[in-house]
Amino acid sequence: MTSGRGRAVARRSVRLRLGALAALLALGATGCAGGAATAPAAGPAVTATSASAAPTPELPAVLAASVPIRVQIPAIGVDSELMDLGLQADGTMEVPAGGFPAGWYTGAPTPGERGPAVLAGHVDWGGAPGVFAELRDVVPGDEITVSRADGSTAVFAVREVGQYDKDDFPTAAVYGDLDHAGLRVITCGGTFDELADSYRDNTVVFADLVPPA
Amino acid sequence: MASVPSTLSSPTRRPRRRGVAATSLVAVSTFGMLAGLTGTAQAATAVPLGGAEVYGVLGTTVTNTGTTTVAGDVGGTTRTGTGATGADSIVHTSGIDRGDIGDGQAGLTAAIADARRQGPATDVGTANLASSSPLGPGVYTSASDLALTGPLVLDGAGSYDSVFIFRAGESMTTASASTVTLMNGAQACNVFWEIDESATLGSGSTFRGTILAGTSITLDAGVTVDGRLLAGDSVTLISDTITRSGCQTGLVSPPTSTPVPTATPTGTPAPTATPTGTPAPTATPTGTTRRPTSYGQVGRVPVGSVDTGDGSTAQELSTTP
């Protein structure tokens, strides 16, 4: 028989999703990939702040879900709105139609929820720097501020900045589950491969939520 | 390549703010989509079932038609069609039949009282629960009826200890082929449906959790329930299947608070449309213990890299050999 469910009271915040993320924008394609087939977002619906006693370890505090609307990275002068990014027909992430604005991947948690939130934007476009032209200059300790639709703000502190060959993209590190609220900011980097019409690398900034008071 | 060489002309470094660690600009949102959701809301706790825990089916009167399979005891003072053999029979995958159901009824009464005490609760009203899917752990109530006419997903947010309590002041009805699906740590042992009057599950539907009904529980044909049917009065079954999945505690996966992408991650697999919660092996980050990666928080994992740049300002060009 099942047993062992007695537990200390846990303090949690509960979020109810009303299907607001069920539809994604169809974006004009850029660069290599054409088409903009979208996939329904199926991210988690809950943030849980746990302060229970043993046996479960205490999870870091996180925010409730809320659509991000603005990202600021003061250290490199970034201040951008955020558009929705879904998946293309081939399963790769959609990208914005131009150098600005930046976007957020709607299939991942909203920035501030537990888990890996993902932002992406162009390093350059149409002969001019894109929104994340200087993302490679971010260093650990820099702040990334994400403003959310419900009026709250999620502040992240950069932990790591890396440049990765696109053929060896760190999928697990970027999209794997976390016990806290994390943020990944992605743009292109490295040399530009003219035959492939693509940058060789992705620059990825890893940041963690500064715990809400 | 773990370094970040600059391929543009050296940019002017803008002045930076230092000492960001003390910054606390975050306002915890209290504007959830429904009133009553706050950062300090008390979570639902598992409803103790006492003497009712052993039962898969419990009622004063239990009536069955066709062959029904039950995990757990079947209790009823009056039982019809519940014999072990025959056209109308209940086959036990575990448990026994009981005629003395006093302890079970006492457990059910106490469980109903416990479920009613819990809160604070979110009012979901009589609307189709599927329209609110997915739902996280907590207490959900309707002053009158509860309804489910589609797929409902319960998301455990990465913890096997997440508890879901649904309460109806009157009755609950689920439609044919409706489903309740669990993900990300949600378990049937931690889902409770406290229905003051009657619960009716539509034909061919899938349901999960323990139903605590004041009056009756009626299943149409071909219903699958992972959990328990506990009623104060009658339980009616028609060729249904009652199962009992296991119950565990803790987090779904070991917390990987700092996946360290130092040094070139070698051979990192790129999962395509990984099912929720399926662990995928990951390259060992430098200096850390190898942990399996799960992807329960990202609904669909994008394939490969991100194409964010057209090279129009690239200083270094190359050609693929």
Do the domain assignments include residue B68?
A: yes
**Mean per-residue pLDDT of chain A:** 79
Q: How far is B17 from chain A (nearest CA, A)?
A: 7
Do the domain assignments include residue B189?
A: yes
pLDDT of B299 strictly over 70: yes
Do the domain assignments include residue A159?
A: yes
State both tokens at A105: 């991947």
Range 262-321 of B in CB contact (< 8 A) with A: 262, 264-266, 268-273, 276, 280, 282-283, 285, 293-314, 316-320
Do the domain assignments include residue A113?
A: yes
* CATH assignment at residue A204: 2.40.260.10
**Beta carbons within 8 Å of A195's beta carbon, 6+ residues apart:** B319, B320
Domains in chain A, number: 1
Closest-CA residue to B123 (of B30, B41, B192, B35): B35
Query: Any CB–CB contact under 8 A between B45 and chain A?
Result: yes
CB contact under 8 A, A114 and B132: no
Q: pLDDT tens digits, residue range B72-129?
A: 999 999 999 999 888 899 999 889 999 999 999 999 999 999 999 998 899 999 999 9
Q: Which range marks the domain in which residue A147 is found?
A: 68-209
- Which pLDDT score, from 0 to 100, does residue A161 have? 94
The residue in chain B having the minimum alpha-carbon distance to the alpha carbon of residue A185 is B306
Query: Any CB–CB contact under 8 A between A158 and chain B?
Result: no
Residues of chain B found within 8 Å of residue A7, distances taken between Cβ atoms: 45-46, 161, 249
Within a 10 A sphere around the Cβ of A183, how many other Cβ atoms?
28
**Which residue among B257, B273, B299 sits closest to A180, beta carbon to beta carbon?**
B257
Query: What mean pLDDT comes out for the span B52-60?
Result: 96
CB contact under 8 A, B25 and A11: no
Query: Any CB–CB contact under 8 A between A6 and chain B?
Result: yes
Q: pLDDT tens digits, residue range A88-116?
A: 888 899 999 999 999 999 999 999 999 99
Range 113-152 of B in CB contact (< 8 A) with A: 122, 131-138
CB contact under 8 A, A190 and B7: yes
Return the exposure string of B192-220: e unless at least 16 CB atoms fall within 10 Å of the residue's CB, then b: bbbbbbbbbbbbebbbbbbbbbbebbbbb
pTM exceeds 0.90:
no
Closest-CA residue to B168 (of B225, B105, B124, B226): B124
Do the domain assignments include residue B318?
A: no
Residues of chain A found within 8 Å of residue B21, distances taken between Cβ atoms: 141, 157, 210
- B89-94 vs B67-71, strand pairing mode: parallel
Do the domain assignments include residue B162?
A: yes
Q: Which of A142-146, B39-43, B184-188, B216-220 has the lowest mean pLDDT?
A: B39-43
Do the domain assignments include residue A14?
A: no
Query: What mean pLDDT comes out for the span A18-35?
Result: 38
pLDDT band at A21 (very low <50, low <70, confident <90, very high): very low
Q: Which range marks the domain in which residue B85 is found?
A: 50-243
Do the domain assignments include residue A162?
A: yes
Domains in chain B, number: 1
Do the domain assignments include residue B146?
A: yes
Do the domain assignments include residue B223?
A: yes
Q: What is the C-alpha to C-alpha distance for residues A68 and A80, in angstroms, rounded to an integer? A: 11
pLDDT of B59 strictly over 60: yes
Three-state secondary structure call for residue B204 = coil
Q: Which of A49-53, B135-139, B207-211, B228-232 has the lowest mean pLDDT?
A: A49-53
Do the domain assignments include residue A111?
A: yes
Do the domain assignments include residue B249?
A: no
Q: What is the C-alpha to C-alpha distance for residues B76 and B79, in angstroms, rounded to an integer? A: 6
Do the domain assignments include residue A188?
A: yes
- Which pLDDT score, from 0 to 100, does residue B249 have? 83
pLDDT of B279 strictly over 90: no
Do the domain assignments include residue B107?
A: yes
Do the domain assignments include residue A29?
A: no
Query: Any CB–CB contact under 8 A between B197 and chain A?
Result: no
Query: Any CB–CB contact under 8 A between B32 and chain A?
Result: yes
Do the domain assignments include residue A119?
A: yes
- Which pLDDT score, from 0 to 100, does residue B285 have? 36
Residues of chain A found within 8 Å of residue B138, distances taken between Cβ atoms: 12, 14
